Amino acid sequence: MVEDEMRPGEERAGLDPAEMPGDAGVCFIGHLSTPWATRDDCPKNLRQARERARGQAGARFAVTVDPAFRAGLQGIEAGDWIIVLYWMHQARRDLVVQAPRHADHPTGVFSLRSPVRPNPIAMAVVKVLGIDRPQGILDIDAIDCVDGTPLVDIKPWLGAIDSPPGD
């Protein structure tokens, strides 16, 4: 979904990755469930998602893995922290410099967590609250995307590996 609206200081790439022939062979392995139906409803980051989740009794956040990939859930347990990679399918892909509302100057896309990027892959470290293996559903604490967002991958979060070194 490419939008033509640009803020002062933003720059487009010389091409739109959404229009390029695929070369990575990425397939979606499921989808995410959230209480947010539109981008306007959706929080801007995981911290906001967690804050809003606390205020929405009964809100469900879940990762649903397609049947062909459900065996890959072996080894994941309630209480585990996982990294969820997901495809922000409604984001534009043609900007390389953005002018974020929270910043006082434009900056390169690779220094931002914005979903607007050549490959709109997002990531979140979330806590598994429960698991329904036969249905391929992981209930999680929160996530910052619209309902139905495609799932790219799940990885374990490993503190000894994923935490930055202490200086």
- Give the closest residue to 4 by CA, choosing from 84, 94, 80, 68: 94
Tokens 């914005």 — which residue? Answer: 114
Structure letter (DSSP) for residue 20: S
What is the arithmetic mean of pLDDT over 140-153? 97
Cβ proximity of 81 and 126 under 8 Å: yes
Domains of the chain, earliest start first: 27-158 (2.40.30.70)
**Residue bearing the bigger pLDDT, 30 or 103:** 30
> pLDDT > 70: what percent of the chain?
96
Cα–Cα distance measured from residue 126 to residue 113, given in angstroms and rounded to the nearest whole number: 16
Secondary-structure breakdown of the chain: helix, strand, coil percentages, each rounded to the nearest 5: 15, 30, 55
Q: Which amino acid is at 160?
A: A
Per-residue pLDDT at 1: 45
Per-residue pLDDT at 59: 86
What is the arithmetic mean of pLDDT over 134-160? 97
Quick one: pLDDT band at residue 13, thresholds 50, 70, 90? confident
Cα–Cα distance measured from residue 141 to residue 59, given in angstroms and rounded to the nearest whole number: 10
**Residue bearing the bigger pLDDT, 90 or 21:** 90
Cα–Cα distance measured from residue 111 to residue 128, given in angstroms and rounded to the nearest whole number: 28
